[in-house]
Chains A and B, each alone.
Chain A
Amino acid sequence: MKRDLILSGVGGQGILSISFLICHAALEHGLRFKQAEVHGMAQRGGAVQSHLRLSDTIIHSDLIPSGQAHLILSVEPLEVFRYLPYLRPDGIVITATEPFINIPNYPESATLDGWLNQLPRKILIDAKGIAQQIGNPRVANTVILGASAPTLGFEPGAFDTGLDVLFGKKGDKIVAVNREAVRAGYEVARGH
């Protein structure tokens, strides 16, 4: 079993928490992993990405080679396209649809929709809307995390102990709403 995924977003959006939770689930499943992340200057509102590789055998490179990623998992729709060269021809894009606009030349929504439409395999998720329905707009990232589960071969429960580790200090309610968000994202993705 091998799964290479790129996580993308904008500095401050919290993609490192998503990668933490996937790595945690991978360890519990007896998988090896490597996860390369970005620190320092780029974290200040710039484009950030994380290369995440899961495998049941040894993983050499910390970076995913071009055309090899099974999945681009993005918390921001424009950022998907920065990493498209990594996606394998039969790979899938899963992204939140809410744009994060902090640059003057951000594409018009029609342009961006056109780019998204031409992707052969994609799951576009109104993560913010789903999070609001659940009752906490801050769990949008967790919805996206849940949507990655079918592609990674995980059940939604796979992230439960990781969520305990990450959010346990903030109380049972926060853990519970994040678990609900994982399941909501999972259901959206499973339908595809």
Chain B
Amino acid sequence: MAGHLTLLGNEALGLGSLHAGLSGVFGYPGTPSTEVFEFVQSQAEKMGVRAIWSANEKVGYEEALGMSYAGKRVIVTMKHVGLNVAADPFMNSSMTGVGGGFALCVADDPSMHSSQNEQDSRYFAEFARIPCFEPSNQQEAYDMMRDVFELSETMDVPVMVRMVTRLSHSRADIIPSEDILPQKPLATGHDIKKWVLLPPHARIRNMQLIEKQPELIRRSEQSRFNALTIQPGATLGVIATGIAVNYALEVLADYPDPVHFLKITQYPIPEGLIRKITDVSNTILVIEEGYPLVESRMNGLFGVSGKTIIGRLTGHLPRTGEMNVDHVRRSMGLSVPQTGVSIPDVPGRPPALCKGCPHADTFRALVDAVAAYPDNRMFSDIGCYTLGVYPPYQCGDVCVDMGASVSMAIGAAAAGVYPAISLIGDSTFIHSGMTPLIGAAKQNADITVIILDNSLVAMTGAQETMATGDRLVNIVASLGVDREHIALLNPLPKHHNENVEIITSELAYHGTSVIIPQRACIQGLKTKGN
């Protein structure tokens, strides 16, 4: 169809930003958020926009805040757990407010398709007392960005745009605007009372942020992205948020009775609209993608007298995991269609390291080297190499969060674990592994850190890493690790025996040693080959 574009939810958000006067994108790769950045990056030269991957989400958030301070519209992208890393600037940016419009684009992962948890970022928005937009489809992901930047500038707050896996990675046709907004000029003023969060300033800013709240709620209530439909004769009210709006609408089309319906895709929670639908309903079903945020706020501690509020908290919908049409049908008392055929017990096909992956050769050498140490503990980290936890390698006893492989090994070694082995990729090391390694080197902690240098960010689609090869070796040395105990490996089958010897000798050393297997990711080689 003429004028239509086919875009992933993430790409629609990126294009919406570009068409709304964007000057730059910062961020750190993380499924399911990565394509927001990559889409902007693909258009950056043409649109005169900066696209800069950051060392980690905290750095990215601050870089973006710097661009906003300078008067420009900016987005920063990350996955939900990345926002934990960026929590410090995030919480404080609601105090400083913004210069140019500032959007935090954070992608949550309900059902944990590619993540350690399914935390719901809307709580973070509430915690920081800032607005949150939660597009329900690709077109909204595109359309919302103008409103996001405008609201950010008018109310002087950063704004969160919360995506979820299913929207991030679903493609649809969208109609872009014909009107593309120009970038904003560089800011010239100074406002120390706003930007310097010394306690006397911060107290005033905090009060101002609190005073903005009623206006933010009013804007949610009047937002074109929130909509209340009252149906004469209905006793059931349905409130759906974000992408759950789609599941609700699909089921309502099949539902025999009239239903009041409230769509919420802009926060803070539009209190007035909720009060209206509650007033006219006996039962209110709340359907949310994520935690039961609206449902729990509606219930408060004691519920609403005379009204029945149902959803994830009452077991009408599952307490955890991704929402879908089947769940909504069951919650509304409708049957779920079944296939006619009996379904066999299909063996699982979990992801595995690719054939020829350099990590596999490192793991094979490591397994042989640690055979002498049955009490060894391996602290793994976030990346493709986490898959080494599974047979046939079984390399990894722990994996918690970015960089924890190094810090947890330090703690375990202090408790008496020997050998304590960290397994961390080159990009994860730059993200959060360097800082604990400085401390390890200073105290000469008895740990062996294996930095798997495959020269790119593999799991998220072969993004460029900040340090590989000699540069990475020099960084490790500059953190204080003795060059005598920085060992390089070539992880290929033909070097197996030599690699086992090197690892064995570093395990035997009672101090901080770093082993760096160096071989490029085969997926990355393919990508570059194309």
Q: What per-residue 1/0 map shows which CB atoms of A51-83 lie under 8 Å from chain B?
A: 000000001111101111000000000110110
User: Which residues of chain A come closer than 8 Å to B349, judged between CB atoms?
Assistant: 10, 45-47, 78-79, 82, 102-103
Given contacts A40-B459, A45-B354, contact A60 B114 (CB under 8 A): no
**Interface of chain A residues 69 through 117 with chain B (CB within 8 A):** 78-79, 81-82, 84-91, 102-103, 105-107, 115
B326, A119: Cβ atoms closer than 8 Å: no
Residues of A near B172 (CB, < 8 A) are 32-35, 59, 62
For window 30-53 of A, CB contacts with B under 8 Å fall at 30, 32-47
CA distance A106 to B247 in the complex (A): 35
Contact A88-B170, Cβ < 8 Å, known A44-B384, A63-B325, A105-B347: no
At the interface, yes or no: B344 with Cβ under 8 Å from chain A? Answer: yes
* A106 → B minimal CB distance (Å): 7
Shortest distance between the CB of B229 and any CB in chain A (Å): 15
A118 contacts partner chain B, Cβ-Cβ < 8 Å:
yes
Residue of B166, B350, B351 with most chain A CB atoms under a 10 A cut-off: B351
Nearest 3 interchain pairs by C-beta:
A67-B337, A40-B31, A89-B340
Q: Say whether A191 faces chain B, with CB atoms less than 8 Å apart.
A: no
Segment 78-117 of B: residues with Cβ below 8 Å from A = 113-114
Interchain nearest-CB distance for A154 vs B (Å) = 16
* A63: B residues at CB distance < 8 A: 166, 324-325
Give B46 Cβ to nearest chain A Cβ, in Å: 19
Query: In the bound complex, do residue A44 and residue B353 qualify as a contact, i.e. CB atoms below 8 Å apart?
Result: yes
CB atoms of B169 and A39 under 8 A apart: yes
Chain A residues within an 8 Å CB radius of B340: 89-90, 120
Min CB distance A66 to B, Å, is 5
**B325-342 interface bits toward A, Cβ cutoff 8 Å, 1 = contact, 0 = none:** 110010000001111111
Shortest distance between the CB of B387 and any CB in chain A (Å): 7
Measured as residues with beta carbon below 8 angstroms from the partner, the interface class of chain A is 35 or more
Alpha-carbon distance between A11 and B114 when the two chains are bound, in angstroms: 14
User: What CA separation (Å) do A77 and B518 show in the bound complex?
Assistant: 38
B490 at the interface (CB under 8 A from A): no
Q: Say yes or no: is B275 at the interface (Cβ < 8 Å to chain A).
A: no
User: Scoring A residues 1 to 45 as 1 if CB is less than 8 Å from chain B, else 0, what string do you get?
Assistant: 000000000111000000100011001001011111111111111
A60 to B326, CA, bound (A): 14
B34 contact set on A, CB distance < 8 A: 39
Q: Which residues of B contact A85 (CB under 8 A)?
A: 338-339, 343
Given contacts A23-B6, A41-B384, A44-B351, 14 further A-B contacts (CB under 8 A): A37-B171, A39-B114, A40-B114, A41-B31, A41-B113, A43-B351, A44-B384, A44-B387, A61-B247, A62-B170, A67-B339, A78-B347, A81-B344, A102-B349
* Interface pair A65/B324, CB less than 8 Å apart: yes
Q: Given A27-B173, A30-B1, A35-B171 in contact, is the A61-B324 Cβ separation under 8 Å?
A: yes
Q: Kindly state whether residue B460 has any CB partner on chain A within 8 Å.
A: yes
Q: Which residues of the other chain, A, contact B346 by a CB distance below 8 angstroms? A: 78, 81-82
Q: Which of A45, A115, A119 contacts B351 (CB 8 A)?
A: A45
Q: Tell which of B337, B343, B459 touches A81, judged by Cβ atoms closer than 8 Å.
A: B343
B33 → chain A closest CB, angstroms? 10
- Kindly state whether residue B259 has any CB partner on chain A within 8 Å: no
**What are 28 contact pairs spanning A and B, CB under 8 A?**
A19-B171, A33-B172, A34-B170, A34-B171, A35-B171, A35-B172, A37-B171, A38-B113, A40-B32, A40-B113, A41-B459, A42-B351, A43-B351, A44-B352, A45-B351, A62-B172, A65-B324, A66-B339, A67-B338, A84-B343, A85-B339, A86-B339, A87-B339, A89-B338, A91-B339, A106-B347, A119-B341, A120-B340
Query: For B243, what are the chain A residues with a Cβ–Cβ distance below 8 Å?
Result: 62
Query: Measured between alpha carbons, how far is A40 from B460 in the docked complex, in Å?
Result: 6
* Closest partner residue, chain A, to B336 (CB atom): A66
In the complex, A60 Cα to B328 Cα: how many Å? 13
- How many Å lie between the Cα of A42 and that of B459 in the bound state? 10
- Rounded to whole Å, the gap between the CB of A178 and the closest CB of chain B is 17
In the bound complex, what is the Cα–Cα distance between A36 and B247 (angstroms)?
14
Return the chain A residue nearest B387 by Cβ: A44
Q: Which of B279-315 contact A (CB under 8 A)?
A: none
| Chain B residues with CB under 8 A of A44 | 351-354, 384, 387
Minimum distance in angstroms from A134 CB to a CB of chain B: 23
Is B167 engaged at the interface, CB distance under 8 Å to the other chain?
Answer: yes
Answer whether A120 and B351 are a contact pair too, CB < 8 Å, given A60-B249, A81-B346: no
Q: Which of chain B's residues have a CB closer than 8 A to the CB of A40?
A: 31-32, 113-114, 459-460
Asked if A103 meets B337 with Cβ closer than 8 Å, knowing A39-B31, A40-B113, the reply is: no
B250 within 8 A of A: yes
- Contact (A45, B324) CB under 8 Å given A35-B170, A61-B247: no
Given contacts A37-B171, A66-B326, contact A61 B246 (CB under 8 A): yes
How many whole Å from B326's CB to the nearest CB in chain A? 5
Which residues of chain A have C-beta atoms less than 8 A from B31's C-beta? 39-41
With an 8 A cutoff between CB atoms, is B494 at the interface? no
For B242-274 the 0/1 string (1 means CB < 8 A from A) is 010111011001000000000000000000000
Contact A60 B247 (CB under 8 A): yes
Instruction: Decide if B4 is an interface residue (CB 8 Å cutoff).
Output: yes
Point out the residues of chain A lying under 8 angstroms from B249, CB to CB: 60
Closest residue on chain B to residue A104 by CB atoms: B347
Shortest CB–CB separation between residue B335 and chain A, in angstroms? 10
Is B113 within 8 A of A60, CB to CB?
A: no
Contacting residues, chain A, for B348 (C-beta < 8 A):
47, 103
Set of chain B residues within 8 Å of A12, measured between Cβ atoms: 354
User: With A and B bound together, what is the CA distance between A8 and B114 in angstroms?
Assistant: 19
Closest to A91 in B: B339
What chain A residues lie within 8 Å of B339 (beta carbons)?
66-67, 84-89, 91
Task: Write out the residue numbers on chain A whose beta carbons fall within 8 Å of the beta carbon of B173.
Answer: 27, 32-33
Contacts of B6 in A (CB 8 A): 23-24, 27
Known: A41-B31, A42-B114. A66 touches B337 (CB 8 A): yes
Contacts of B247 in A (CB 8 A): 60-61
* Closest A residue by C-beta to B168: A39
Does the CB pair A61–B325 fall under 8 Å? yes
Mask: chain B, 161-190; 1 = CB below 8 Å from A; 0 = not: 000001101111100000000000000000
Nearest CB on B from A34, distance (A): 5
The closest CB in chain A to the CB of B4 belongs to A27
Q: In the docked arrangement, what's the CA distance between A46 and B347, Å?
A: 12
